[in-house]
A and B are shown apart, each in its own frame.
Chain A
Amino acid sequence: MKVDKDKDEGGIINGLLGLAASYRVTLTQLFRKPLTESYPEYKRPLPARSRARIILTRDKAGGERCVACYLCSGVCPVSCISMQSAEREGGRRYAAWFRINFARCIYCGLCEEACPTLAIQLTPDFEHSCRHPLDFVAEKEDLLVDHGGKDGDYDFYHYAGVDCGEGKGTHEAELPPVDIKSNLP
């Protein structure tokens, strides 16, 4: 079909109608109750699994869960976790120091997945902006909390099978130590 470019029937009218419609939307929204939640006046509760600031949790007895196994630092894609493992009185392995550089952390959560003792956990607490880069470096005392986080009941040392003062064969699903000097069947 041939289109006559000089004659644009209805073009101007359609344009004006479009303008009016958008003004109508704006005007109607102007007098409605707003949907936006103002931050920081209102803080929305986030799901427990959302990934932000990292904590080191404790077991039910109040002991540090972290055994400084280096799995989190090994898996960390940006190498923001460093630590030194050491042996406590009684044989428990623990972190002599533990450091996370949050300026580097990308909150991927791989450390939490790797952690065999549920010690390192990501929390919904995402608000930690600082003025100085060094303020992002969190030491062990900054990271340690006095609760068990997402799974408060788990205690690695109930299942590990290593003797940390309570004696061999006392963990979950363990037989008492065998008598190595006996030849009885």
Chain B
Amino acid sequence: MPYLIIDNRHIQVPRGTTVIDAAERLGIMIPRFCYLKVLGAVGACRMCAVMFEAGPVKGLQMSCMVQAADGMRVSTTHPEAVAFRRQIIEWLMINHPHDCPVCDEGGHCLLQDETISGGHSRRRYTGAKRTYPDQDLGPLVQHEMNRCIQCYRCVRFYQEYAGYRDLGVMGIASRIYYGRFSDGALESPFSGNLIDICPTGVYTDRPSRFLARRWDLQRADSICLHCSLGCNTVAGAHYRAVIRQESRENVRVNGSFICDRGRYGHAYANLAERPRQSRLDGEPAGWREAAREAAARLKRIAAAAGHSAIAVLGSARNSLETQIMLRYLSHHAQWRPPRFFVNGSEARSTAAVVARLDSRLAAGLPDLEEADFLLAVGVDPVNDAPMLALAMRQAARKGAKIVVLDPRPVELPFAFDLLSAGLGDLPAALAVLVKTAVSQAGTDGCEAQEKAFLAALPGRVPDEKLQGQLGQAGGWLAASRRPAIICGSAIAGPELAGLAADLALLLQTGKTPSRLFYLLPGPNAFGAGLLQRGSRYFPSLLQDIEKGGVRALLVVENDPFFRYPDQDRLHSALGKLELLMVLDYLPSRAARAAHIFLPGATVFEAGGSFINNCGLLQYAAPVHEGGIPLAQVSGGSHPPRAHAPAPGSEKCPSAYEALLFLANELAIRPPTMDASPWSLLPEDFPGQAELLAHPYPTDGLQLLPRLSEAESLQTPVNLPTSGPAAGALTVLRVEQTFGSEELSCYAEPLRQLAGPPLALLHGADADRAGVRDGEQLCFEIGGEKVELALQVTNRMAPGQLIIPHHYALGRAACRLPAVVAQAELRGLTGQDSPDLPQAITES
């Protein structure tokens, strides 16, 4: 551990630490442009020069290029170093335009800061400045090359770190240019990070262009809700609208970056059509009046038909506080236990994950970056959870072998092996791969139970080509030392989740101690999984509604129409309800169908805790008070001048507050009205004691048990080894990076990037059905016809029809029934009735 002195202060740092990092640990920020910890040092900008006065290195050196060593004495304030840095910044500023007043970076610009700290206030250079043409880089990033200081950060991130090639560096000498070969939207779903890492204003945020200065934003630490990874963000609001999100560093979760879905997905909070008015039987009503009426009707229904005639539907985007309150309310009012998932398969997958994940097995994104073999099953990382792809790329850069086992034509920004297997074949293929690996690595450490489990695993899949690929991948797994299995839950059912845990445990007994990483269907799916214990799934609830057993349904921040496959059935079932009460902040179809509607508050207004896919509880702080964005109140012109409470400034109570109000009306009083939500937790909830002691842990709270309670190696090993009967198609509804997720699909720039929806079909199936690439296919969805263009590809598994979960055809289309249930393939030959996949069969 080198021991050195920086500015007369002593510090000991781990070996390999650079002097610039060592100084940062002391709180000394040495000026820098090209250096970023995650990207490493290149020593290009010469800004971090410091004086090495004693030790192995002497003289003026770049602190990012010199590793700390014993006996070093470093001065960051040495006159020679200060003069050198002052000179450098003056040179960098020679061609920089005079446009800070109209530059969105102004106010949080590193170049501005370093210029001022260099002591410059006036330009001495009077010659002509170099200029560049700019490019249209798509709806997310604005390009202004005149401002560039040639630090190479953008290209190093975009190409080396993220693995996309369409943005690069061109030109020579003083004409170095960063951009694309020609105009066009950036291909990377991580392009927004260019805005954060550019030390000046070459890349700025386009949707929030010219909207506000950083110093005027109300900013708070938030959590991204657009997938289950729980990436950390800083959200900024101005004049009651959330206008910008930036990544927040968290080495346990997302590192330094976030994806574009997370960065730009916040538009739902500012929608003009966001419902803000409580409604009672379709008529506007006061919030309290509507909530009181809801309580009165619930009491009447409970008196007439019993408490079990009332059911509750939460969601995986509820904050944990809301979920706890839902559970508490339904438990004490003796209603049916709350459900959180509309899709039975998602509910069971999540239950399996929550039961099986423990700290022996769980890997976080940083663990994946360190892995030397990654096996992704039932996951399309870029589409399901983009930041997962970025973490996998870091492993690939360090030399890891990566295998993806999936029916979809998965594309990733690094070299990997795609093993195409049909949805039904995934468990068997995974089992074959792991069995091969364990057999090769030897079964010395295994006990009898494990050996029996291993023997019961299938050894072959019918497809010869796939069998060969699985054998090869098994060899890589056997040779690896830090493997990890990544298991999705979006398309595959709960069997795969259980099997993945069993196989990871099996591998842990051998020489290849594998870790496990699950993806979950929603930002707080883990919390829902913990709190849904004892409840049955949504499809059974629908049956009860149809039979008349359930007369009132309380829907909190969920839109069953968005996920449930059979729109007609859902519509008629909900029509039978005596009371449909909806509490939400989205202009959803359920919200319009509600008898009583209460507007809700988004995470930016209410805050809340969310448990990510690794069992990490994190808190998102409220960013602003809420209310209608000023731009909408004033129609873009001057805001109202009145002194009285400004129109639109009324804020909506959060779902937690609304449920607390309802509980109070129903005379179900929590211990005290201002009690911590954590005091209402059920007994078996992990981490309650820690939460009561520290309600909102800043670094998050890991809720995973050391050992899961579930029986290990319990998955039945009679796995199906063949897909549906020949001729039938499995319909897969898949997530897309942009446009298919429930919240971010309201963001206009992301919908532009999503492009027209495509149906994917394997070449063999297309030939058999007599359809061609580019043909329009007509589907019948909940009584409405929807046309999708067909794309034929041979990179996917045969026997599947892949359609996007939800397609954005303009804002009105968000209200369209989202999913295909009885998909009638008009373009396909008559005898092919598409087989419904597990993902939408009822449980």
Q: Which of A16-24, A51-59, A69-77, A122-130 contacts B (4 or more CB under 8 A)?
A: A69-77
Specify which of B129, B213, B630, B631 is in contact with A161 (CB 8 Å cutoff). B129
B239 interface residue, CB < 8 Å from A?
yes
Interface contact A168-B130, CB-CB below 8 Å: no
Of A99, A161, A168, A183, most buried by chain B (CB within 10 Å of CB) is A161
Residues of B within 8 A of A176 (CB): 131
With CB as the reference atom, state the residue of chain A lying closest to B215: A74
Interface contact B213-A74, CB-CB below 8 Å: yes
CB distance from B734 to the nearest CB of A (A): 37
Interface contact A134-B129, CB-CB below 8 Å: no
In the bound complex, CA of A66 to CA of B528 (Å): 52
Interface contact A178-B132, CB-CB below 8 Å: yes
Count residues of chain B with CB under 8 A from any CB of chain A: 44
CB distance from B628 to the nearest CB of A (A): 15
Interface contact B210-A93, CB-CB below 8 Å: yes
CB distance from B838 to the nearest CB of A (A): 49
Residues of A within 8 A of B215 (CB): 70, 74
Using A180-B170, A185-B173 as known contacts, say yes or no to A96 and B636 having CB atoms under 8 A apart.
Answer: yes
B542 interface residue, CB < 8 Å from A?
no
In the bound complex, CA of A134 to CA of B643 (Å): 8
Residues of B within 8 A of A185 (CB): 172-173
Interface contact B134-A163, CB-CB below 8 Å: yes
Q: Which of B95-103, B407-415, B554-562, B818-826 contacts A (4 or more CB under 8 A)?
A: B95-103
With CB as the reference atom, state the residue of chain A lying closest to B177: A180
CB distance from B591 to the nearest CB of A (A): 30
CB distance from A82 to the nearest CB of B (A): 8
- The A-contacting residues of B in range 150-195, CB under 8 angstroms, are 170-173, 175, 177, 179
CB distance from A103 to the nearest CB of B (A): 11
Residues of A within 8 A of B126 (CB): 173
In the bound complex, CA of A160 to CA of B103 (Å): 10
Interface contact A161-B101, CB-CB below 8 Å: no
In the bound complex, CA of A134 to CA of B640 (Å): 11
Range class of the A interface residue count: 35 or more
CB distance from A168 to the nearest CB of B (A): 5
- The A-contacting residues of B in range 69-121, CB under 8 angstroms, are 97-103, 106-107
Residues of A within 8 A of B211 (CB): 84-85
In the bound complex, CA of A137 to CA of B640 (Å): 11
With CB as the reference atom, state the residue of chain A lying closest to B101: A69
Proximity string of chain B (638-655) to chain A, C-beta cutoff 8 Å, 1 when within and 0 when not: 110101000000000000
Residues of B within 8 A of A84 (CB): 211, 239, 630-631
CB distance from B579 to the nearest CB of A (A): 43
Residues of B within 8 A of A69 (CB): 100-102, 106, 213
Proximity string of chain A (160-185) to chain B, C-beta cutoff 8 Å, 1 when within and 0 when not: 11110000110001111111111101
A86 interface residue, CB < 8 Å from B?
yes
Specify which of A68, A85, A97, A169 is in contact with B637 (CB 8 Å cutoff). A97
The number of A-B residue pairs with CB atoms under 8 Å apart is 112
Residues of A within 8 A of B671 (CB): none
In the bound complex, CA of A173 to CA of B95 (Å): 10
Specify which of A85, A168, A173 is in contact with B133 (CB 8 Å cutoff). A168
Interface contact B212-A70, CB-CB below 8 Å: yes
With CB as the reference atom, state the residue of chain B lying closest to A116: B101
A111 interface residue, CB < 8 Å from B?
no
B572 interface residue, CB < 8 Å from A?
no
CB distance from B260 to the nearest CB of A (A): 21
CB distance from B790 to the nearest CB of A (A): 38
In the bound complex, CA of A137 to CA of B641 (Å): 8
Specify which of A70, A87, A140, A169 is in contact with B131 (CB 8 Å cutoff). A169
Interface contact B170-A161, CB-CB below 8 Å: no
A121 interface residue, CB < 8 Å from B?
no
Residues of B within 8 A of A175 (CB): 128-131
Interface contact B97-A160, CB-CB below 8 Å: yes
Residues of A within 8 A of B101 (CB): 67, 69, 71, 93, 116-117, 156, 160
In the bound complex, CA of A134 to CA of B127 (Å): 50
CB distance from A108 to the nearest CB of B (A): 19
B787 interface residue, CB < 8 Å from A?
no
In the bound complex, CA of A139 to CA of B640 (Å): 11
In the bound complex, CA of A159 to CA of B641 (Å): 36
Using A174-B129, A183-B171 as known contacts, say yes or no to A161 and B98 having CB atoms under 8 A apart.
Answer: yes
In the bound complex, CA of A68 to CA of B668 (Å): 53
Q: 10 nearest interchain CB pairs?
A: A161-B97, A69-B101, A169-B131, A180-B177, A97-B638, A116-B101, A178-B175, A70-B213, A160-B99, A93-B102
Q: Beyond the given A73-B216, A87-B209, A162-B146, could you list 12 further A-B residue pairs with CB under 8 A, ordered by the A residue number?
A: A70-B215, A74-B216, A84-B239, A85-B211, A96-B637, A99-B639, A134-B643, A137-B641, A173-B126, A173-B127, A175-B131, A180-B170
Q: List 12 A-B contacts (CB under 8 A).
A: A69-B213, A85-B211, A161-B98, A162-B146, A168-B146, A169-B131, A175-B128, A175-B130, A176-B131, A178-B131, A178-B171, A180-B175
B: residues with CB less than 8 A from A are 97-103, 106-107, 126-134, 144, 146, 170-173, 175, 177, 179, 209-213, 215-216, 239, 630-631, 634, 636-639, 641, 643
